[in-house]
């Protein structure tokens, strides 16, 4: 992906009225609740898939992705067999990890966080934040409501036979609760239209409505249920789009990893901040993991240093992780960085909630020094499904 695809917003500034923000907030709540009520029985039934309705399209590890059979005529059918839209997609499975780590990997209300998430999850090719309606707070660090634009690469796009698809959508993240009181994380995307956001000449605007729910089934097991409809806008693109869309529904496999890498990056940056103020600690001569003193360093070979604790790590114990960083010139850089096993274990066990809250407080302090920095305040009110006087409209797949 090129740098410009994530740093240049292709649209004019989107200024939303208080009424529009209120409607978008309630739209998200209404549709998330409707999706949740539909999917709760699925969780209760032990994730049983009706194979008369769903056809396996892709499988990897413990995740399966299905498409709805066009011949399915049940009252709960999501797809319209007479429509050019893609069939409904269902993704179910179990992912190792903690729910908080997963939600930390999902939430991405800023452009920088979108870029970092995309580098780990690979769920879209280009993106922009158009308007922030609700930012995460220390009370709800994984709750956000944002209007975004994203682009998805379609095979053969370089031949000029097909064009990439792009989407303008409302994205919501947060938690809902099962009747038992058990929490479930959600990730919701739904197309919206604004007259200010014109269609780009070299892309075709599609529609989507996707909602995923995630719950902690066991101490290191997350249950996943994700459903959605995606309209790529055009019959010719169907065969090319289905593999792209079903692969996108595999993204829950990478959410926990993204959250873990974000925690590791935060720990590394905090360690470097402390080292700049107090000086780096003595790395010692013995490996931080096996406690042996590696041979060969006396002959001028570079030492491997853990970038969190700054202690020496021998070549047999060092662990390299590819970390995504946004540099001072706004480029996304991915670098292989050395860590020791002890620091990786500490970061893995660290609370994603606590780290997210610390980041929110740090960003709040920084914003006080920026003229015109946006407030973290958000509003709530009633909702109507009709178009607003300003021309905003919501998409329906009914």
Q: What is the pLDDT of residues 126-143, one digit of tens each?
A: 889 999 999 999 999 999
- Mean pLDDT, to the nearest integer, of 317-345? 93
- Please check the confidence at residue 189 and state whether its pLDDT lies above 80: yes
Token digits of residue 48: 């049983």
pLDDT above 90 for 243: no
- Give the ranges where the chain is alpha helix by DSSP (H): 4-7, 18-44, 99-106, 111-121, 238-248, 252-278, 341-349, 352-367
The CA-atom distances, in angstroms, between 138 and each of 71, 83, 223, 306, 347 are 48, 44, 26, 30, 20
Task: Tell me the per-residue pLDDT of 258-310, one tens digit each, with 9 for 90 and over.
Answer: 999 999 999 999 999 999 999 888 998 899 999 998 766 544 455 799 999 99
196 touches 9 (CB < 8 A): no
According to DSSP, the residues that pair with 325 across neighbouring strands are 333
Task: Give the pLDDT confidence score for residue 296 in this predicted structure.
Answer: 60
Confidence at residue 163, expressed as pLDDT on a 0 to 100 scale: 82
189-191-194 Cα angle (round to 5)? 135
Q: Which residue has the higher pLDDT, 267 or 329?
A: 267
User: Which among 148, 145, 142 is positioned nearest to 129, based on CA atoms?
Assistant: 148
Q: What is the pLDDT of residue 376?
A: 40
The more confidently predicted of residues 391 and 223 is 223
Residue length, the chain?
A: 398
- Which tokens is 316 given? 């047999």
Torsion, CA 1, CA 269, CA 327, CA 363, rounded to 10 = 100
Tokens of 117: 């998430």
CATH 3.30.530.20 residue ranges for the chain? 4-255
Evaluate whether 376 touches 140 at the Cβ level (below 8 Å).
Answer: no
**Averaged pLDDT, 299-324:** 87
| Domain at 4-255: CATH architecture | 2-Layer Sandwich (3.30)
Give me the mean pLDDT over the 328-341 stretch.
91
Q: Which 3 state secondary structure label does DSSP give 233?
A: coil
What region does 181 belong to: left with phi over 0, alpha with psi -120 to 50, or beta?
Answer: left
Distance CA 78, CA 397 (A): 8
User: Are residues 78 and 53 in contact, defined by beta-carbon separation less than 8 angstroms?
Assistant: no
Question: Most distant CA pair in the chain: distance in Å?
Answer: 75
DSSP 197: S
pLDDT of amino acid 388: 40
pLDDT reported for residue 375: 41
Structural element, H or E, at residue 59: strand 54-60
Q: Whose structure tokens read 């606590």? A: 354
Residue 9 has pLDDT above 50, yes or no: yes
| Residue 6: closest CA among 126, 123, 154, 147 | 126
Give the torsion through C-alpha atoms of 93, 148, 393, 375, to 10 deg.
110
pLDDT of residue 262: 98
- Concatenate the DSSP letters of all residues of 62-124 into one string: TEEEEEE-TT---TT--S-TTSSSPPPEEEEEEEES-HHHHHHHH---SHHHHHHHHHHH---
Asked if the model's pLDDT at residue 146 lies above 90, the reply is: yes
The HSE-up count of residue 65 (CA atoms within 13 Å, CB side) is: 22
pTM over 0.75: yes
Please name the helix (run of DSSP H) or strand (run of DSSP E) that holds residue 146, with its range, or none. strand 144-152
Q: What is the pLDDT of residues 196-241, one digit of tens each?
A: 899 998 888 889 999 999 999 999 999 999 999 987 766 556 677 7
132 close to 109: Cβ distance less than 8 angstroms? yes
Helix (H, G, I), strand (E, B) or coil at 300: coil
* CA pair distance 65, 246, nearest whole angstrom: 6
């Amino acid at each position: 992906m090129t740098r410009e695809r994530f740093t240049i917003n292709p649209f004019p500034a989107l200024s939303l009225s208080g009424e529009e923000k209120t409607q978008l907030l309630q739209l998200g709540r209404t549709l998330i609740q409707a999706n949740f009520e539909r999917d709760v029985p699925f969780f209760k039934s032990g994730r049983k898939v009706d194979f008369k309705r769903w056809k396996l399209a892709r499988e990897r590890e413990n995740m399966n992705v299905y498409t709805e059979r066009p011949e399915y005529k049940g009252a709960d059918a999501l797809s319209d067999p007479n429509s050019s839209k893609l069939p409904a997609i269902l993704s179910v499975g179990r992912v190792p990890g903690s729910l908080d780590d997963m939600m930390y990997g999902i939430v991405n209300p800023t452009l920088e966080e979108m870029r970092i998430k995309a580098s780990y999850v690979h769920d879209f090719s280009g993106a922009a934040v158009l308007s922030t309606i609700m930012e995460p707070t220390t009370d709800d660090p994984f709750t956000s409501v944002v209007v975004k634009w994203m682009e998805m690469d379609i095979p053969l796009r370089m031949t000029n036979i097909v064009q990439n698809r792009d989407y303008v959508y409302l994205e919501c993240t947060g938690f809902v609760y099962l009747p038992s009181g058990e929490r479930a994380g959600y990730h919701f995307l739904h197309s919206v239209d604004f007259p200010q956001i014109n269609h780009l000449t070299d892309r075709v605007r599609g529609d989507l409505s996707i909602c995923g729910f995630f719950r902690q089934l066991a101490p290191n097991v997350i249950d996943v249920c994700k459903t959605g409809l995606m309209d790529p806008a055009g019959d010719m693109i169907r065969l090319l789009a289905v593999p792209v869309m079903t692969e996108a529904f595999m993204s829950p496999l990478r959410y926990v990893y993204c959250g873990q890498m974000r925690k590791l990056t935060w720990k590394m940056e905090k360690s470097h901040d402390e080292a700049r103020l107090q000086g780096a600690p003595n790395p010692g001569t013995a490996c931080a993991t096996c406690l042996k003193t590696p041979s060969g360093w006396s002959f001028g070979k570079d030492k491997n240093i853990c970038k969190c604790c700054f202690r020496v790590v021998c070549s047999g114990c060092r662990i390299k992780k590819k970390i995504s960083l946004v540099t001072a010139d706004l480029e996304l850089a991915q670098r292989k960085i050395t860590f020791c096993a002890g620091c990786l274990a500490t970061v893995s066990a660290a609370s994603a909630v606590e780290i997210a809250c610390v980041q929110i407080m740090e960003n709040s302090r920084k914003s006080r020094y920026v003229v015109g920095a946006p407030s973290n305040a958000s509003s709530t009110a009633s909702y109507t499904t009709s178009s607003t006087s300003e021309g905003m409209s919501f998409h329906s797949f009914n």
